[in-house]
């Protein structure tokens, strides 16, 4: 038995490590990921979530190191999405007598995905199930990240199995956050929150109210490293992110055809520097949109630039903004800029998205024809400075 995977006596990590994963439906997962499944040995044996279908054998091997899978009594599905449910059909072949514990929405989703009439044990929010020495307490957390989501708390162990909440896409042979370090894990948790959870801030706030009433020593998410320390810190981050609170930082994101929009981005960068604002400059030719989202999660001020191509934005900028519209970050300050030859529509299109997101737009956009003159670039720098001063004055 791998002692490293025994999180507490009788509670084992039996998940899969996806070292090669680089694309999680459009999210660049440069560190890979894990799908965390957990095995709880008690009078009843419970498997909490499973792994993506192609890592089934890895999960099965890990279960077999601990117990004969035929002894599993319950498969607890906290979430239907297939990175966690994808191996339920196969594990049921090895654990034919197991019931599938899930929420009402979970049952509907699992039936719809797998077209199987499994022995479902449907639980409501607040229900408990005694499995021997321990109790499983179920709390529904709809939309964190799908309608079916729930988390499971084991009071005797003070463990919260939080599924998608508090996860990070990191492939690692380490199991605990403290073994890798806060800086890396927090960065990946922020990226995960920004790209997966951000639209559901209100629902996260509801879930956090429940979590705050629990005595928690360990948070076991369904991706990445496990929290046995730094729990108040990550809960505080989730609180901040789900309230759409930002830091007085800026991100300038742009693409350029012949260098004019890039020059403008550089001048905005200088203006923000003049104002003393911390910022990031992201060229979409070299930066992935999912990394830009991490910057937007943290930044009060978002400056987006595009030249006009065929009466609209460059496709790369359109891709970012389409993605951003779905993720719906609130309470930002927006600024649109760009260059053009004749039509000049891109800047208006960018501003339209800011309006749809209900962002503040304190400065008029800047749209410059062909190659900017020196005095125009000086003006762009001054606009950057003013925007910087504007956010620094805000609460
Ligand atoms: Fe990791 Fe919503 O699944």
Q: What are 25-80's pLDDT values in tens digits? A: 999 999 999 999 999 999 999 999 999 999 999 999 999 999 999 999 999 999 99
Our CA angle for 388, 393, 395, nearest 5°, is: 120
Question: CB–CB of 88/62 below 8 Å?
Answer: no
Residue 251 has φ and ψ, to the nearest 5°, of: -125, 130
pLDDT single digits (tens) 213-231: 999 999 999 999 999 999 9
Catalytic residues: 25, 79, 81, 83, 145, 164, 192, 223
Q: Check pocket membership of 222 for ligand 1, CB cut-off 6 A.
A: yes
Question: CB–CB of 163/79 below 8 Å?
Answer: yes
Q: Check pocket membership of 81 for ligand 1, CB cut-off 6 A.
A: yes
User: In this model, does residue 3 exceed pLDDT 90?
Assistant: no
CA-proximal residue: ligand 1, atom 1 (nearest): 164
pTM above 0.95, yes or no: yes
pLDDT single digits (tens) 69-115: 999 999 999 999 999 999 999 999 999 999 999 999 999 999 999 99
* Mean of pLDDT over the chain: 97
Query: Which ligand 1 atom is at minimum distance from the Cα of 196?
Result: 2
Q: Check pocket membership of 300 for ligand 1, CB cut-off 6 A.
A: no
Alpha-carbon separation of residue 55 from 6, 60, 265, 300, 379 (angstroms): 20, 9, 44, 40, 56
Q: Please tell me the distance between residue 346's alpha carbon and the centre of ligand 1 in angstroms.
A: 35
Superfamily covering domain 250-390: Flavodoxin domain (3.40.50.360)
Q: Check pocket membership of 147 for ligand 1, CB cut-off 6 A.
A: no
Quick one: which H or E segment has residue 300?
A: strand 299-305
pLDDT single digits (tens) 198-215: 999 999 999 999 989 999
Q: Please tell me the distance between residue 164's alpha carbon and the centre of ligand 1 in angstroms.
A: 5
Its CATH architecture, for the domain 3-242, is 4-Layer Sandwich (3.60)
Q: Please tell me the distance between residue 370's alpha carbon and the centre of ligand 1 in angstroms.
A: 45
Q: Please tell me the distance between residue 81's alpha carbon and the centre of ligand 1 in angstroms.
A: 5
pLDDT single digits (tens) 290-323: 999 999 999 999 999 999 999 999 999 999 999 9
Q: Please report the pLDDT score of residue 84 as a whole number.
A: 98
Give the start-to-end residue ranges of the domains of the chain. 3-242, 250-390
Residue with token string 């762009």:
380
Alpha-carbon separation of residue 230 from 144, 246, 269 (angstroms): 21, 21, 34
């Amino acid at each position: 038995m791998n002692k490293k995977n025994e999180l507490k006596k009788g509670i084992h990590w039996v998940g899969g490590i996806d070292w090669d994963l680089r694309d999680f439906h459009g999210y660049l997962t440069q560190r890979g990921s894990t799908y965390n499944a957990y095995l709880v040995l008690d009078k009843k044996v419970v498997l909490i979530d499973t792994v993506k279908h192609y890592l089934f054998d890895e999960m099965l091997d890990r279960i077999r190191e601990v117990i004969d899978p035929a002894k599993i009594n319950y498969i607890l599905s906290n979430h239907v999405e297939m990175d966690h449910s994808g191996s339920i059909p196969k594990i049921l072949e090895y654990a034919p007598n197991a019931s599938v514990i899930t929420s009402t929405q979970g049952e509907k989703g699992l039936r719809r995905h797998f077209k199987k009439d499994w022995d479902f044990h449907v639980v409501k929010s607040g229900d408990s199930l005694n499995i021997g020495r321990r109790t499983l307490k179920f709390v529904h957390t709809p939309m964190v990240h799908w309608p079916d989501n729930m988390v499971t708390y084991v009071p005797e162990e003070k463990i919260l199995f939080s599924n998608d909440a508090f996860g990070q896409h990191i492939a690692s042979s380490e199991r605990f956050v403290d073994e890798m370090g806060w800086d890396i894990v927090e960065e990946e948790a922020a990226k995960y929150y920004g790209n997966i959870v951000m639209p559901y801030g209100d629902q996260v706030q509801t879930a956090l109210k429940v979590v705050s009433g629990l005595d928690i020593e360990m948070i076991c998410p369904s991706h990445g490293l496990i929290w046995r320390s730094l729990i108040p810190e990550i809960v505080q981050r989730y609180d901040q992110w789900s309230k759409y609170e930002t830091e007085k930082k800026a991100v300038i994101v742009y693409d350029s055809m012949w260098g004019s929009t890039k020059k403008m981005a550089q001048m905005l960068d200088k203006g923000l520097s003049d104002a003393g604002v911390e910022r990031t400059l992201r060229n979409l030719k070299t930066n992935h949109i999912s990394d830009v989202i991490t910057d937007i999660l943290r930044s009060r001020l978002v400056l987006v630039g595009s030249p006009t191509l065929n009466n609209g934005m460059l496709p790369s900028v359109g891709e970012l903004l389409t993605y951003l519209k779905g993720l719906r970050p609130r309470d930002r300050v927006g600024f649109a800029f760009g260059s053009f030859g004749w039509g000049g529509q891109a800047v208006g299109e960018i501003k339209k998205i800011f309006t749809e997101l209900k962002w503040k737009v304190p400065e008029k956009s800047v749209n410059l024809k062909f190659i900017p003159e020196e005095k125009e670039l000086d003006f762009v720098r001054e606009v950057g400075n003013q925007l910087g001063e504007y956010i620094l004055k805000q609460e």
